[in-house]
Structure 1
C-alpha cells in the first residue's frame, strides 16, 4: 500500500466516501457541480465512483459559497494599514491531490465550468508561474524607469503583480500544482498571501499533498511558510480510488507508440507523417518560431505537423514557453528516438515532462490564462506520436549512482551545500522526476487511446 493510499484511507476519508455514495441520488441545484456530475453519470459519460462523488460534494459546497461573491475592494486605507476582508468571511478554495488518472483534473474542470463569472481562469501551474516571472521582470523595469533616486531602493514587485492578477480574475483553477523550481519556491508565500488577501479563490489539483510540495528541495526552509497559508485558504482533499482511468480507454486503431526494437518504427513514422502531410496545405520544410525574443527552429515540419527528434526537443535548453508556443502552432508532434531516461539525463527528463504536460493541457487561445466566453473549456489537445528505446512504463528509471558534473558542483558551492546534500536534495536524487513521470506515463497512455484521438477530431472540426 502506498503512502498516499494510506493517508486517503483514514476513517474520515472512509466516512466521506460513504457520504459520496449517497450523493449519487441526492437532489442538487441545476447549475452546480453535483447536478452536472449526476447528469454525466446518467448519460454514461462517467463511471460511478464513490471517491469522486465525495469530492463533488466539496466542490458543490464551494460553488454555493461563491454565489454572489466578489473580492474585497482595496481602498487606500486598507493598503496603508493592511486591512483586507476578514478571511473568516471569504470562501475557501480546494487543494485536491492524489495519484495519477483518478479524475482530479476532470472534476476541477467541471467545477470551473459551473462558476458563472468572466473573472475566472483555468491554467496549468507551470504556465501561471511563467507569466508571474514575466510580470515581475516588467514591474522591476517600470520601477527602474520611474525612479528618480540616484541610489537604488529596495523594491518588492510581488504585491503589485498579485494585485494586477486579482484585478483580472478572482477564481484561479490550477492544474498540476507542483513546485520544482527554486525561483518559484522562494516567492510562493508572498505571492499567494497577497492573492488571498486580495480575495482570489484557488482550486488546484496536484499529485502531492501540501506537506510534500517541494520535498527535499534546495533551501526548502524558506518555502515551508507557504504550506500553512495554502491550508488556511483551501480545503485539502485526497482523491485516490486506485483506478487510473486513462489506462482504461481502448487503444487507437492508428499506432502512435513505436518500439524501435520492433523494426517497424522508422517505416511506420514515415507512413504516418506522409498521411498527416497530405491533409496540410503546405510543403515539408524547416519552421522558425519566435519565442519571447528568441528564434527556435524545427527542422522538419509540414503545416501544423512537426516531425522532431528527442534531441531536438529535450537536449536543447528549451522550457515551458517554447513548448507552449509549439502547442499553438502544431496539432500533431512526432517525437523520434526517445531514450530511457534516468538521473544522469535529469535535464532532458524534466524537459520531456514539461513538454508532455504542455501538449496534453494545451488551449487553442494561446493565452497564458486561457478563457472562454461560453463558460466551457475549449481544449484542442495536441496529438503525440513516439518512437522509443523501451516500452512506455520503462521510460524513466531511478539511478542511484550520483554523477556530479561541474555545473552541479558549482550550484552546490553557490548554495553552500555539502556532499551529504546529494542524498537529500531532490535536484540531485531524481526523486521529483520519478514522481512526476508517473503522471507523464499516465498521460501518454491516454494520448494513445481512440477516445483521445476522436476528441481531437471533434475539437478540430
Structure 2
C-alpha cells in the first residue's frame, strides 16, 4: 500500500511530467527493486561474478538513486515554480566520480545504474566523454556562427542550458582529459552545468588529482578539480581483476600477425562479409564537418582499411564516431608496434579503439606483434618531431640544453614535459584491455548487425 505522503509527493511530481513519465513513475512505485537486489540477481544467475568491491559501489549508487527521486534541476524548478527562491531549494545532489584500473567493472556498474535508476529516459543521457565534448564544441561553433556580429557573446552558458534542458542526469564514460582545448574549457562548462542542477556520474581510470597530469598549461586546468570534488563524491573501484581478460575468445580468429599470412586471412573474411551486404566492393567517401574522408575498400557497412588510412591521416574522434555509425565491422591492417616516437598516431589509435569499443564496432586486426606488445613504453629521450616543433612555435616554447623550456606565459608549467607521453602510456593500458575484450565471442555478439 502506498502511504499518504508518497501519494502526495507522487501527485506533485505528476504536474511536471509527460505521459511517458507517468508510466515510468508508476513502474518505479510498483517495482521497488533496488540496484543491490538487481546486482545480487545477476550474481546468482552468474551473469556477473561476485565482487565485494563492486558491491560497495552498487550500495553507493542505490543511495544516490534515492536522492535523485526527490531532485529537480534548477531549470525545471524555475519553470514550474518561478516564485520559489533558489535559497528555498534543497541542496544540490552530489553525483559520483568512479575511478579504478582497467576492466574492473566501472562502465558495467554505471550502465546498471543508468538503466535502472528512477530518472526517466528523456531526462538522462549516457555518453562517452569524447563524444560529449565533440557535441559541446559543435554546439559552441554553431552558436558563435549565429552570433558572430556580437563580439561579447559567450556561448558556454547557452550550451550548458540546452544540455540541462535535454537531460539533467549525465553519465559520462571514460572521463579522461588529453586535449588542451578541453582542459581549458572544462571548469567554465561544468560551473554552468552544476549550477543548473546537472547531476554527473563519471567513470575514469584516473583519480581527480591525476587528470590531465603533466598536461600543457595544467595550472589553468587545476581549478576544475575542486569543482569536480565539490559536486561529485569520489569513489575508487580497484579489485585488481581485469574481467575483460576472463572472457571467452571468439570462435573466429580476429587478430592476425603479419608474419602469419594475415592479409590472406583478412581477404577471405572481407569477401565472406561482403557477400552478406547489399552492395558492391567500392571506395566510399564520408563527408564529416565539411571534410571528405575516403576509404578505398568498402562494401555496405564493412570497411577494409589500414592503420595508415586510420591513424596517419589527421582524423579525430568525430571521424571515428561517424565510422561507428556507418560501419558495423572495420578491418584494420598492418598495425605497427608503436612508441612515443609516433605519439600522434598513438593518440589517434587510442581514440579510435575507445570510440569503436563504446559503439560495439566489430574489428578485425592484423599487426606486427601481439596486442599486449603493440606499445613500447620507452622514454622519448629528446626526440622532437615536426608536429612537436610546430606546437612549440605556436606556444612560444624553445629547447635549451636538451630540455623543454617554456616562455614567460608558461612558466608555471616549466616542470612538465609536454612530449613525455605519460598520458598515452596510461591510456594504452586501457586500450590493450579493450582490444582483448573486442576479440571475445561476447563482444562480437553484443551488436546485432543483420536484421
Indicate the TM-score class for this superposition, using the shorter chain for normalisation: 0.7 to 0.9
Residue number in structure 1 paired with 2:396:
416
Match of 1:430 in 2: 421
Aligned to 1:130: 134
* Aligned-partner Cα distance in 1 for 2:347–2:418: 11
Is 1:356 the counterpart of 2:356? The answer is no
Equivalent-residue separation in structure 2 for 1:344 and 1:445 (angstroms)? 24
Partners of 1:268 and 1:30 in 2: how far apart?
Answer: 52
**What is aligned with 1:452?**
443
**Contact 1:84/1:198, CA 8 A, preserved across alignment:** no
* Structure 1 residue matching 2:49: 3-state secondary structure: coil
Give 2:204's match in structure 1, choosing from 203, 206, 227.
206
1:17-416 mapped onto 2 (5 Å cutoff):
30-73=32-75, 84=86, 89-115=91-117, 116-117=119-120, 118-145=122-149, 147=150, 153-261=151-259, 263-362=260-359, 381-400=360-379, 401-416=381-396
Provide the aligned length of Structure 1 versus Structure 2.
403
> Deviations along 1:58-84, whole A, 9 cap, x unmatched?
1111011001321123759x99xxx85
How has the CA–CA distance of structure 1 residues 391 and 86 changed in structure 2, closer, same or farther, with 3 Å as cutoff?
farther
Unaligned runs of 5+ in 2: 1-30, 406-413
- Alpha-carbon distance in structure 2 between the residues aligned to 1:43 and 1:87: 42
Q: What SS is found at the alignment partner of 1:132?
A: helix
Instruction: Pick closer, same or farther for the CA change 1:112–1:421 going to 2, 3 Å.
Output: farther
String of CA shifts for 1:335-380, please: whole Å, max 9, x gaps. Answer: 0000011111111111111111111111xxxxxxxxxxxxxxxxxx
Q: Work out whether residues 143 and 155 of structure 2, in 8 Å CA contact, stay in contact via their aligned partners in 1.
A: yes
Counterpart CA distance in 2 for 1:277 and 1:410 is 42
Tell me the alpha carbon deviations over residues 247-286 of structure 1, each in whole angstroms, 9 at most, x when there is no partner: 101111101000112x221111111111111211111111
CA offsets, 1:208-241, max 9 Å, x none? 0000000010000000000000001101011111
Quick one: distance in 2 between partners of 1:460 and 1:432? 38
Cα pair distance change 1:203/1:421, threshold 3 Å:
farther
Unaligned runs of 5+ in 1: 1-28, 148-152, 363-380
Contact 1:85–1:197 (8 Å) recurs in 2: no
TM-score by length of 1: 0.83
Render the CA deviation track for 1:28-64: whole Å, top value 9, x for unaligned: x834321221121121100000010010011111011
* Deviation, structure 1 residue 160: 1.3
Q: Which has the larger radius of gyration?
A: 2
Question: Separation in 2 of the partners of 1:53 and 1:455?
Answer: 25
Q: Go from structure 1 to structure 2 and tell me whether the alpha carbon gap of 1:435 and 1:46 turns closer, same or farther (over 3 Å shift).
A: same
Aligned to 2:7: none
Q: CA contact under 8 A between 1:305 and 1:331: conserved in structure 2?
A: yes
Distance of 2:172 and 2:450 partners within structure 1: 25
Tell me the CA shift for residue 85 of structure 1: 6.0
Deviation at 1:88, TM superposition (A): 6.6
274-283 or 311-320: which moved more? 274-283
Q: What is the TM-score of this pair, normalised by structure 2? A: 0.85
Q: CA deviation at 1:159?
A: 1.2
Say if 2:404 and 2:417, in contact at 8 Å, map to a contact too.
no
Deviation for aligned residue 1:290: 1.4
| Distance of 2:89 and 2:340 partners within structure 1 | 43
Classify 1:166/1:295 alpha carbon distance in 2 versus 1 (closer, same or farther; 3 Å): same
Contact 1:170–1:199 (CA under 8 A) maintained in structure 2: yes
Cα gap change, 1:123/1:38 in structure 2, threshold over 3 Å: closer, same or farther?
same
Q: State the Cα distance separating 1:395 from its structure 2 match.
A: 0.5
Which secondary structure state, in structure 1, belongs to the residue aligned with residue 445 of structure 2? helix
Contact 2:286–2:292 (Cα < 8 Å) also in 1: yes
Give the aligned CA root-mean-square deviation in angstroms: 2.1
Aligned equivalent of 1:372: none
DSSP-derived class of the 1:215 partner: coil
Distance 1:188 1:143, change over 3 A: same
